[in-house]
Structure 1
Amino acid sequence: MTVAATEPRVVAARRRVPRGSARRHIIAAATELFARRGYEATSVQEIVAAAEVTKGALYHWFGSKSELLTSIYRELLAEQTARLRDIAEGPGPVQERLRAAALDVVAHTADHVDELTVWARSAHLLDDEQAEATRRERRAYHDLFRDLVREGQDAGVVRTDVSATVITHMFLSALGNTHTWFRPDGPLTFAEVGEQLVALFVGGLRP
């Protein structure tokens, strides 16, 4: 009786990202897919495939796709808030700190324009609990910026005929809505647009 020789079965192992870097890869993949395809049109399976991780790894770090979206924004907001606090509590005349704070939020936004654009377009899809948590953190950032404006008003270097709250919302809203009309193939970069917004902001503060 002839026994057919059999070759050992070789199963190619699917490539996986190194242990410890899965979370970073998930966030990067999700950001790229959300920006290119939209949050609603992107599936969890597409995210894990692009990130080269298992679905279990994604759910280890994030309870859902909406939690992933929220985490991307909240981490950027926490970073932005820490930077603003360092500037607000730092040395120098208040008018210089105000200008530095405005330039810093522009620079940070330009560095993370994809993530922030995804958030601006998709935040309304979150459930009430997630939305309220991010609103609280966003209000804390606004309050910190507003207090710096008020310090300028108290020092006599910022106009007082407009409330600090209106000044703050005017600048941050203008910057936050830039994604609705900015075009990467236009004559200005996002950073240049932001710098022009800062010029208008600083110029409009003078008493």
Structure 2
Amino acid sequence: MTEAGTDKAVPEPEDSVPRRLLSVATKLFADKGFDRTSVQEIVVAAGVTKGAMYHYFDSKDDLLSEIYGRVLRAQTEQLERVADGTAPLRDRLRTAAADVVVSSIANLDDTKIFMRSMHQLTPEKQKAVRAERRRYHERFRALVEEGQRSGEFRADQPAELVVDFFFGSVHHLGFWYRSTGALTAREVADHFADLLLNSLRP
């Protein structure tokens, strides 16, 4: 949904049909698994008809891809704001690195569900999601490459490997992070950002 005359997205109300469907689908996919959850179970739990669901989502696949897509879109918007800012490059990269850790932890269930079930999406949807994620990684990598060109970051390590190593750690959060653990999300984010920046120090 967008505001009239603008391209600015307007958040869906908390009780909107799409939000209810996504919330219910997330819980059911987490509890039962994507393949063992039926459309009928989703619409009953959300208190809507199948017609209402199909007005917003073409299929159960669409629900699954949107569970992850909304997180990735929010992360991309934040990254673009940070990357296009006026802060020193090192500060922008540090902020971007910390932000993606915090947002990943805040949406850990959504990400885990998607990663566990992505292979069950149609090839077309898998391709679309991978392309969107690749664009995010490329924007992040551009910050590293900018610093390598200027001499602020070491250039003897390929930027692509540095970024892949960092995001490999981010994607692994779902296997070990617990909100009841010793570190808060912000503390983990600060450590991750420090590790990334230290690895790039000339």
Q: TM-score range by the shorter chain?
A: 0.7 to 0.9
**TM-score normalised by structure 2 residue count:** 0.86
Q: Are 1:144 and 2:136 matched, yes or no?
A: no
Amino acid at match of 1:55: K
2:49 equivalent in structure 1? 54
Tell me the alpha carbon deviations over residues 82-111 of structure 1, each in whole angstroms, 9 at most, x when there is no partner. 111111111011000000100111121122
How many residues in Structure 1 have an aligned counterpart in Structure 2? Answer: 189
Partners of 1:122 and 1:35 in 2: CA distance: 10
Tell me the alpha carbon deviations over residues 39-59 of structure 1, each in whole angstroms, 9 at most, x when there is no partner. 222221221122111121111
Structure 2 residue aligned with 1:123, among 118, 126, 129?
118
Partners of 1:195 and 1:104 in 2: CA distance: 9
Partners of 2:167 and 2:44 in 1: CA distance: 36
Any stretches of 5+ residues in structure 1 without a counterpart?
A: 1-17
SS at match of 2:155: coil
Q: Are the counterparts in 1 of residues 98 and 192 from structure 2 also a CA contact under 8 Å?
A: no
Tell me the alpha carbon deviations over residues 9-53 of structure 1, each in whole angstroms, 9 at most, x when there is no partner. xxxxxxxxx9x8111110111112222322222221221122111
**TM-score normalised by structure 1 residue count:** 0.84
SS at match of 2:35: coil
1:134 equivalent in structure 2? 129
2:21 equivalent in structure 1? 26
Q: Are the counterparts in 1 of residues 98 and 186 from structure 2 also a CA contact under 8 Å?
A: no
2:5 equivalent in structure 1? none
Q: Are 1:153 and 2:148 matched, yes or no?
A: yes
SS at match of 1:187: coil
Partners of 2:35 and 2:185 in 1: CA distance: 26
Q: Are the counterparts in 1 of residues 82 and 95 from structure 2 also a CA contact under 8 Å?
A: yes
Partners of 1:50 and 1:206 in 2: CA distance: 52
Partners of 1:196 and 1:154 in 2: CA distance: 25
State the identity as a percent: 44
The Cα of 1:122 is off from its aligned counterpart by: 0.9
Q: Are 1:35 and 2:30 matched, yes or no?
A: yes
1:72 equivalent in structure 2? 67
1:8 equivalent in structure 2? none
Structure 2 residue aligned with 1:175, among 170, 176, 180?
170
Partners of 2:179 and 2:99 in 1: CA distance: 21
Between 40-49 and 178-187, report the one with greater CA deviation. Answer: 178-187
Q: Are the counterparts in 1 of residues 40 and 50 from structure 2 also a CA contact under 8 Å?
A: yes
Amino acid at match of 1:122: S
2:39 equivalent in structure 1? 44
Structure 1 residue aligned with 2:183, among 174, 180, 188?
188
Partners of 1:193 and 1:165 in 2: CA distance: 23
